[in-house]
Homo-oligomer: A and B are copies of this chain.
Amino acid sequence: MQHTELKALIERQLEQHDANDWFLLVNTYQDADIVEVLEELAIEQTASLLVKLPSPQFASLFGYFSPLYQDALLQVIEQTEQLRLFKAMARDERVDVYQRLPAQDQQQILPKLAKQEQHDILKLAAYEAGTVGALATSAYVAIADNMTVIDALRFVRHNAANMETIYQVYVVDKDQRLIGTMSLRELMTEQDNAVVGDVMRTDVISVHAEQPQQDAANLIRRYDLLSLPVINGGKTLIGIVTVDDAMDVDVQENTEDFHKGGGTLALKDVSLRQVSTWTMFAKRAPWLIVLVFANMFSGGVIESYEDTILTYVALVFFLPLLVDSGGNAGAQASTLMVRALATGDLEMKDWLKTLGREFWVALLLGLAMAATVYGLGHYRGGADIALVVSISMVAVVLAGSMIGMSLPFLLSRLKLDPATASAPLITSIADFVGVLLYFYIAVTVLGSA
């Protein structure tokens, strides 16, 4: 279904008032596609359509809106409708929405929910945003180890409608501690009268609620899981993270790393389609201004070589080339390292070995680039300048690469985010070092002016 066709169908719903027709449309098309159209309508229009739906469809669609649009919707729908929504939403999404509500709205809505739901929200809301706990849902299937397989299957079938996933069931002891797991596939292929405790897997991969979200996504990817159990300090099972949420975490974290790599503070939960001029400015200005100061040091170095420049003005012609080349080689190295550290391809212990290889790679790169510029150096500035430019090229590429390679490791060592070693930051540091090296080599070869 094309976006424009679906949009025409939905806009027709705004004019006519046959709730049944709208209900049929929602059941026929995919939630993600419908929401994409609805997000282009005015908030009030979307709200008027949503409240006409039965609770399950209302809640299911609501979960696909962006956080910003969700919050805006809650502002325009009546409290009885809010309540209906809260009762029907997926538990992990519900707690996210709840936490973004203004305190007074939280206080109004919470007492109106069932005790069980209140307890569930408060338990999940206890975890900080960005932790696994904040990502988890409590809608998982837990069984006892003394159940038979056939009883477990009946239990799963009976509870299927309310669970986030039924394809992995978790086995807990009487204190709700996680002791095993079985997939629905394993349950279906075991003998009916086998006892769960005898046939379950006991080497369960799990994650602590306080760990960062990315850890959950990494575990799910590494072990090819459909869901991952979340435990607290006492090994009590408190929820699960499902693979679809893990994929979303991967995308978010990658986007943040991209933004940081480009020297922008991460834009969380914001579409570039909607972000305001002011937000963009606020996210981009800090690094740019910091780098202005960094670049002033380069200017200071140049100033101290004023006489050399006046004597050999041809040196200036090669200034952008040399400083950029160091920065470019450094940006390559840092990008490779940041990514490898993020995916777990490299770890701290690989630093020395990687540094050794980087030295040889950078030396080869520097020599290749020096060979490329030698002729031009000769043509524009004569043999001496060509020599200075070529030696400097090798030096700045080596220096830039070593800095670009090492800084992500260093940041990681200091428990800072390696992605902070952005291309612009590396470029500016490499520039400073490049200017120093270039003029030092120039004065050494040419003699001071």
Contacts A160-B189, A251-B343, A350-B273 given: A335-B261 contact, CB under 8 Å?
Answer: yes
Given contacts A271-B345, A273-B345, contact A247 B221 (CB under 8 A): yes
The distance from the CB of A65 to the nearest CB of chain B, in whole angstroms, is 14
Q: How many copies does the complex hold?
A: 2
Contact B243 A221 (CB under 8 A): no
A14 at the interface (CB under 8 A from B): no
Q: Is A354 interfacial (CB-CB < 8 Å)?
A: yes
CA distance A361 to B124 in the complex (A): 38
Chain B residues, Cβ within 8 Å of A160:
185, 188-189
> Who on chain B is nearest to A153 by CB?
B188
A440 adjacent to chain B (CB < 8 Å): no
Asked if A268 is at the interface of the complex by the 8 Å CB criterion, the answer is no
Given A310-B310, A324-B291, A346-B273, the answer on whether A332 and B264 have CB atoms closer than 8 Å is: yes
A262 near B369: Cβ-Cβ < 8 Å: no
The reply on A296 being an interface residue by CB < 8 A is yes
CA distance A281 to B362 in the complex (A): 8
CB-based nearest B residue for A277: B360
Q: Which of B244, B296, B325, B423 contacts A292 (CB 8 A)?
A: B325
Q: How far is the CA of A302 from the CA of B381 in the complex (A)?
A: 13
Most buried by B among A32, A320, A323, A368: A320
Instruction: Give bound CA distance, A251 to B254, whole Å.
Output: 9
Chain A contributes a number of interface residues (CB within 8 A of B) equal to 110
Among A78-86, A372-380, A410-418, which stretch is in contact with chain B?
A372-380
Instruction: Name A residues whose Cβ lies closer than 8 Å to a Cβ of B.
Output: 1, 28-30, 32, 156-157, 160-161, 166-167, 184-185, 188-189, 203, 205, 220-224, 226, 243-244, 246-248, 250-251, 254-255, 257-259, 261-264, 267, 271-273, 277, 280-281, 284-285, 287-289, 291-293, 295-296, 298-300, 302-303, 306, 309-310, 313-314, 316-321, 323-325, 327-329, 331-332, 334-340, 343, 345-346, 350, 354, 357, 360-361, 364-365, 368-369, 372-373, 376, 380, 397, 423-424, 427-428, 431, 435
9 contacts between A and B (CB under 8 A): A167-B184, A221-B244, A224-B244, A263-B332, A272-B336, A272-B346, A293-B372, A299-B320, A331-B427
